[in-house]
């Protein structure tokens, strides 16, 4: 076989470029030839193959990304709604204690039982953090109450 000269290489490259231009004019898309690797986690969650053509990968990525954003927004919204509910329940609980506390404190049997009852309810209502917050708030309230009354009614 003859040795190929630089001129031959130029002709071959020119023919290949001409073939690619004609193919693209005829509707051939190079994105169908170029392959993209799909990450393992996305393969497992979506069932996509390990490699896709560039065109398919762009479409699948956009679908996956939109779905992820929608799911994330829904979850965030649910968390915010639950936080609002927690705040509402917390306000109702504290306002009920503020309303009932002074009335019950004057009764001989229920007055000393109020701290015990609220402590028991606090154990069942929420997590340890919520219980600790309520306990600290209650203890601070007791101290302020002692300050107002000058220690009357307390036993040491």
What's the CA gap between 59 and 53, in Å, rounded?
Answer: 10
Indicate the pLDDT class of residue 87, thresholds 50, 70 and 90: confident
| Residue 62 scores a pLDDT above 90 | yes
- Regarding pTM above 0.75, the answer is no
| Residue 1 scores a pLDDT above 60 | no
Which residue has better confidence, 37 or 145?
37
Residue 46, Cβ neighbours under 10 Å: how many? 12
34 within 8 A of 53, measured Cβ to Cβ: yes
Three-state DSSP string of 3-44: CCCHHHHHHHHHHHHHHHHHHHHCCCCHHHCCEEECCHHHHH
């Amino acid at each position: 076989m003859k040795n190929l000269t630089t001129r031959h290489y130029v002709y071959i490259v020119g023919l290949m470029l001409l073939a690619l231009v004609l193919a693209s004019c005829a509707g051939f898309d190079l994105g169908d030839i170029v392959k993209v690797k799909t990450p393992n986690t996305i393969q497992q969650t979506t069932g996509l193959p390990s490699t896709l053509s560039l065109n398919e990968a762009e479409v699948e990525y956009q679908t996956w990304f939109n779905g992820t954003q929608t799911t994330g927004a829904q979850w965030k919204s649910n968390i915010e709604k639950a936080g609002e509910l927690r705040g509402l329940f917390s306000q109702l609980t504290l306002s009920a204690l503020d309303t009932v506390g002074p009335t019950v404190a004057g009764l001989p049997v229920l007055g000393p039982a109020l701290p015990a009852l609220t402590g028991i309810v606090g154990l069942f209502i929420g997590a340890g953090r919520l219980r600790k917050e309520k306990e600290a708030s209650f203890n601070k309230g007791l101290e302020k109450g002692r300050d107002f009354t000058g220690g009357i009614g307390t036993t040491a």
